[in-house]
C-alpha cells in the first residue's frame, strides 16, 4: 500500500513502517487482517494454551492478582487474547527494522 515503487517487500515491512512513522488511510485493513489471523490461530489453541495466553493479558493479570476467594470463576475470553496478540505484534513492529525499512523511513523524512 506504500506505492508501486516502494522498496518494502512484505506486509510485515509495511506494518513496521506505519507503526514507526504514521498510519496510512488504509491502516484499518492491516488491523482487520491481523485480527483475522490472530482469531484463526486462537481457534486452534488447546484450552491450556488459551488459558496461559489469557493470563498474560491485562485482564488475566488483574484476575490473577485478586484474592482467590473474591475473584470470579476463570473468565477466559478469546477476544482478550486476540487483542493481546495483536498488541504484541504491533509492539514488535515498533522495534523491527532492516535496510529496506530504514531506507523507506529516511526517504520519507528527507
pLDDT at 53: 96
pLDDT tens-digit profile, the chain (110 residues): 555 667 888 989 999 999 999 888 989 999 999 999 999 999 999 999 999 999 999 999 999 888 888 888 878 899 999 999 999 999 999 999 999 999 988 886 55
- What region does 3 belong to: left with phi over 0, alpha with psi -120 to 50, or beta? left
Q: pTM for the full model?
A: 0.82
Q: CA–CA separation, 22 vs 97, rounded Å?
A: 15
CB-count exposure of residue 45 (10 Å: 0-12, 13-18, 19+): middle
Interhelix angle 78-95/11-20, nearest 10 degrees = 80
Amino acid at each position: 500500500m506504500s506505492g508501486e515503487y516502494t522498496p518494502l517487500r512484505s506486509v510485515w515491512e509495511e506494518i513496521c513502517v506505519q507503526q514507526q512513522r504514521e498510519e496510512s488511510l488504509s491502516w484499518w485493513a492491516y488491523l482487520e487482517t491481523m485480527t483475522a489471523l490472530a482469531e484463526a490461530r486462537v481457534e486452534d489453541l488447546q484450552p491450556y494454551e488459551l488459558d496461559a495466553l489469557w493470563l498474560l493479558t491485562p485482564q488475566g493479570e488483574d484476575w490473577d492478582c485478586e484474592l482467590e476467594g473474591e475473584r470470579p470463576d476463570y473468565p477466559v475470553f478469546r477476544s482478550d487474547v486476540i487483542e493481546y496478540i495483536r498488541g504484541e505484534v504491533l509492539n514488535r513492529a515498533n522495534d523491527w527494522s532492516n535496510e529496506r525499512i530504514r531506507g523507506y523511513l529516511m526517504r520519507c523524512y528527507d
